[in-house]
Chains A and B, each alone.
Chain A
Amino acid sequence: MKAVGVALLALAPLAAGAADTVAIRGGRIITVSGPVIEKGTVVVSGGKITAVGPSVEVPAGARVIDATGQTVYPGLIDGLTTLGLVEIGSVAGSVDTTETGDVNPHAEAWIAVNPHSELLPVARANGITAALAAPAGGLISGQSALLRLAGTTPEALTVKTPVAMHMVYPTGRPVFDISRLFEEPELKTFEEREKDRKRNQEKELKRLGNLLEEAKAYGAARAAARAGTIAPPRPDLPMDALAPVARGEVPVVMRVDAEEDIRGAVRFAEEHGLKLVIAGGLEAWRVADLLKQKDVAVLVNVDRLPRRESDPYDAAYANPAALQRAGVRFAIVSDDASQSRNLPYEAAMARAYGLGADAALRAITLSPAEIFGVAERMGAISPGRDADLFVASGDIMDPRTEVTHVLIDGREQPLQTRHTHLYEQFKNRP
């Protein structure tokens, strides 16, 4: 571990001894929070953006990045990933997304995040500067953390934790298990399967509801004990984690796709007083008005097939546009680790199918920052915000565009990755 860390540092001289003040000069600045500056300068100092504008002076002693002919963007935020928790999907030893059992509210993503994962620099090299790392699976998967993709310790990476409690909305459908592919399948009629599904779903929802109510009581007992009215309850890790969720203080990110299930999740959240965010949301377009009415945000994954055969072929691509029209808050997310770098192209697909360029960019910058409560710090280029930004040769949603500079916390990051190293090693092999 130590050796890996040293190697990383050796590769990243700028990260260690960067000049404190940097001026990015001459580029087209997409601020996201304000109008586009066709040609201007961004000054960063002490990890913060200190000045932005068409005629900002470059402070004396500042390191200058010439961005003439290029575009300056706020760092992209991938609002749902397993970055840092997964190295190689199929190698169990390198996967820390899913704890044993299906109720793990106390599992905290930031604890298991590997700052030295090869996947982090790969995402970063395409302009992803922050990502929500979230546990997955089960009924209650655990707590996510917002990471900035630079640093050598989990503490250095973690911007905010917990951001949310992640849950999987029970659909009542059988969970996929590859080993069952080889078994003699259990045969049931459609009507039987539908009955099973509804029964299982009700059962699971009841279980989840009971857990939340228990957590509420537990939280109340803790409060009462603090006030000295009762003896403190026996400590309980899962309940400790779940209590603020049950009080509606920590949001719940609920993975759910089908229209009927999204409606169910909204109902469930209302019944239990949860602050709900939808993840996945394949059929969110069918319930956009409801989501607007209940102010439920969506972490939407664009590059998917429609759920139903009868759906429009582009239902998933046009999903964000439909949410936008209805006024629903949403972020576009990769919902992956190794594919996180393709986040801008996902946004591009939503853009091609009705979202528009500005809204598409917002969905991978300021919108996730707002949903996660860090919009003061991240998601746009304006003075006072964290200096997480990058320079690109053109439109970042164009797959041909190259990223030339990435700054996180005001420090320029190396763009070398496992991939560029292998490229250099083999490109000229005879």
Chain B
Amino acid sequence: MTNNGRAQAVRRRLAAAVVAAVWARPDAAPAARSEVYALVGGRIVTVSGPTHDRGTLVMRDGVIEAVGPSAAVPPDARVIRADNLVLTPGLIDGFSGTGLPVVTGRPSGTAGSGAAAAPPPSLLAPQAMALDRVRVADALKARDAGITTVLVVPREGVLPGQSVILNLSGDKAEAMALKQPAALHLHMSTLAREYPGSLMGTVAYARQSLDDAIRYRDEWAAYERSPAGKRRPRYDAALAAWQEVLAGRERLLVTAFRENDVRRALAIADEFKIKVAVAGAPQAFRVADLVKSRQLPLLVSVNFDPPRPATFFGRSDEEKERRDIEAAERNPAELHKAGVSFALVSAYAPNFLAGVRKAIERGLPRDVALRAVTLGAAEALGIADRTGSLEAGKIADVVAWSAEPLTKDAKPRMVFVDGQLYEPEETPAPSPSPTAEAGGASAGSGGTVESPQLNSERGIAARLHDVEPRQRDLAALGPHSRASVTTGPVLVAIVGGTLLTVGAQGTIEKGTVLVRDGKIAAVGRDVEVPAGATVIDATGRYVMPGIIDCHSHTAIEENVNECSDSVTAEVRIADVVDQHDVNIYRQLGGGVTTINVLHGSCNTIGGQNAVLKLRWGKPPEELVFKDAPRGIKFALGENVKRSNFRAPGPPRYPATRMGVEAVLRESFQEAQAYKREWDEYEKKSRAARSAPRGREAAPQDERRRIHFAAAEDPVAPRKNLRLEELKDILDGKVYVHAHCYRADEILMLIRVAEEFGFKIRTFQHVLEGYKVASEIARHGAGASTFSDWWAYKMEAYDAIPYNAAIMAAHGVKVSMNSDSDELARRLYWEAAKAMKYGGASEAEALKMVTLNPAWQLGIDKRVGSIEVGKDADLAIFSAHPFAPDTRVEQTLVDGIVYFDRSKDVAARTSPAKAAGIQ
């Protein structure tokens, strides 16, 4: 915004609260006499300055008047001896649920209980105010732990609204407000039965919200410039609530539950040019460098074992859960070691101090911890000019402790909030959860998990966890370290092996592949190995192009489906890539180098795919296959109809294959309308740009002036990220990967696509593709199928293992995919089955897991065969990949060895070694 007056007008119209700090004066304070306290004889830890072993602290009318070893006691002061006590600033819990009603997991179970009386939490309401839900009596209990100041954030939902900072004195929430509203929040969380029901949905929701908020701003700005002749924009409280963040005056406070949520927060900040802060972040130490370089305000959780839903699918890995909890406990100490400053916050832990003590126990210096719950927290919340330390002029939030603060024995004897004395209960209220207290005690049940036990059984993945945390994202990742080959110009020669090139050179016995800078530089029998090349001896082994899996759900964080709607084209797998998914490594162990990570099949039109290279150990953005064309998942049939299970609640449309077709048709009709709308806008916008501009040129005639104003700067139509994607499909910019089974639905999709003028790039699964192979070939689509899965559901009953061979014989480019973290590791044998069932040639079968899926993903110029100029993505097998004794020995991506079986085996320790697992 360039015009100040305009900006002010907009702000007024938007009712975006200009944030003003409220100096809370206790309502009940007597008007006539000043309230003055002098604490004499205590040890004073100022936090901001020196610690005084004996000193005096004077408070007057809610403000610290004097601090020091020789501060004078004013004559009107009430003198309190503080000998043997330690004075600190009041503790600040910079991210808490203080005073908010606890909403239990299952809403149905709470009906009629006490909690039901409270207003329900707002799950997607940026305009909601935490202040409105605070229960004063509950909030004040926090003082028993020496906490004087809290940021109150509703726990539930994704956009839970705006928090408030309370200073805990007074009898009304409003009176306690130190900053209201304090911040706008985004939890990187999901909703149960509505949108967004997946992490990728949450990111998409945030993106759409910000786009909408931008348009809202522009719409109002245009209206304010010249309201005459324009339709009055609608007031929208939710979009208005974003404006302070959008204008860069306030930070969006993002709650991070995972390492990558920190990256997601920064990505949103970059995309929309807004400022963010991050709360929670139990694995922030893994991104310490990023946090530092971006100067990201960080509110680090001490809720190390937060309540979570149980995991199903038998995927329980208690060992990993323990390891994650231990990592979270070490997180503050590691962050400190990395030179990151941060606040420590309860993040809803039932016992804040127990969590802080645990962080200290795990290596965080106590003085650093104290700063992190006082001045550090104040800094992160932007209130360090008024609180957080014992300095003259600051708010008189002071705690007198019975022992050194943040030790087990330290009990708050006196708590001053706004200069008002509160004497805590002798025994602090017991924490609601018994486990929380146990977590604080080193000898408690929570402390029984000792690392030696874990160390004794570390496989590859465990080893990675043992590596210095900051190295995790770097090169030195255990036995398959790529440090040796990444230095300098990379020159690798793989010699002596049988090369299955899948290219024009066919099979080459005793051949050499020369790799330079990650690309294949030479292939053949007589390739000279230059001096200085790293030589990989593949004598007796087979080298084939890295395997490409055209249907994967590996490395997706949280839900694979955004199931809340049957069209969710706006969600992106790329937003939720989990680079730590150990299945990446396991699949490298099966020779896989590239995977097509797809949204699930819950929806007719699912989300956008991400083609990944399995560069194990790299951050998520470096896994993305840079030049791969965009793609999207479609799905037809039983999964979309949701016919094989009963989901609670109202049935979702569609429930028949007729409905699936209707959803497609309706979606693309809508997309066409959207496209027209934007085309018109762009035409108008072009016209406006070419029209004469400026005040002088404005026509004098009133009617023409209005017309001119309207044309001057047309407000863009709403950017609908869902329709945007569909529009791009219509424009042929997006590859469609369509999950399907039955022949009739395959034909249906071809019909719809051709009617709307777009192409299906691949039919996925396509188990009845053999019945309509000619039609698929004529449309020009590829087919990505299972070798021999069948009979697991009705639409798979006519599935036959000859499917791939029949389709291939009809001219369809066929690939074998896994759709499974496990099957992905043995796709080479899946390909071999095409020879057994239907008589595909060896060359044809090899293509089904290399060049054909590369074509299907539009990356066949880069990968899929061993040919000069292509990426050096290679799998080295101990025998022919189709033979029964074969095993992957090494896997290279971009010429870098990411998997080396011999190193992996050598690095094993007991019990794997004891069991002879090798």
Contact = CB atoms under 8 A, between A and B. Distances in A.
A190 B303 CA distance: 12
A305 B308 contact: no
A179 B563 CA distance: 13
Interface residues of A, number: 80
Given A190-B322, A308-B317, A341-B788, A426 B106 contact: no
Contacts, number: 238
A349 B911 CA distance: 21
A191 B313 contact: no
A183 B109 CA distance: 12
A88 B317 contact: no
A119 interface: yes
Nearest to B823: A303
A358 interface: no
Interface string B329-343: 000000000000000
Given A179-B647, A182-B649, A191-B438, A310 B445 contact: no
Contacts of B458: 310
Interface stretch (A1-9, A137-145, A170-178, A222-230): A170-178
Contacts of B136: none
B492 to A, nearest CB: 23
Nearest to A87: B791
Interface in B765-815: 770-771, 773-774, 788-794, 796-798, 800-802, 806, 809
Contact of B310 (A118, A188, A286, A354): A188
Given A183-B106, A399-B836, A189 B806 contact: no
B802 A427 contact: yes
A194 interface: yes
A294 to B, nearest CB: 17
B589 A192 contact: no
B107 A184 contact: yes
A402 interface: yes
A136 interface: no
Contact of B832 (A182, A325, A400): A400
A194 B794 CA distance: 38
Nearest to B917: A318
A17 interface: no
Interface string B345-378: 0000000000000000000000000000000000
Contacts of B915: 285-286, 288, 322, 325-326
Given A90-B638, A285-B915, A399-B833, A427 B838 contact: yes
A415 B362 CA distance: 66
Interface string B187-201: 000001100000000
A189 B309 contact: no
Interface residues of B, number: 96
Best-surrounded residue of B321, B586, B771 (most CB of chain A within 10 A): B586
A309 interface: yes
B791 A338 contact: yes
A313 B836 contact: no
Interface string B318-332: 111111010000000
A311 B463 CA distance: 10
B883 A429 contact: no
B911 A286 contact: yes
A352 B825 CA distance: 13
Given A426-B806, A427-B806, A338 B325 contact: no
B192 A184 contact: yes
A310 B308 contact: no
A60 interface: no
Contacts of A87: 791
B322 A312 contact: no
Given A91-B794, A398-B884, A174 B310 contact: yes
A400 B462 CA distance: 37
A220 to B, nearest CB: 38
A338 B790 contact: yes
Nearest to A187: B307
Given A423-B800, A427-B806, A399 B829 contact: yes
Contacts of A338: 789-792
B194 to A, nearest CB: 11
A351 B771 contact: no
Interface string A225-245: 000000000000000000000
B105 A190 contact: no
B459 interface: yes
B435 interface: yes
B320 A353 contact: no
A419 B836 CA distance: 13
Nearest to B439: A191
A178 B645 contact: yes
Nearest to A188: B307
A415 to B, nearest CB: 13
Contacts of B796: 88
A257 interface: yes
B849 interface: no
A93 B457 CA distance: 46
A398 B461 contact: no
Given A423-B806, A426-B770, 9 more contacts: A177-B312, A182-B193, A186-B309, A188-B307, A308-B320, A310-B459, A318-B918, A338-B789, A345-B884
14 contacts: A118-B791, A187-B308, A306-B459, A309-B320, A310-B457, A312-B912, A313-B585, A322-B916, A325-B915, A326-B915, A348-B884, A354-B916, A399-B832, A426-B773
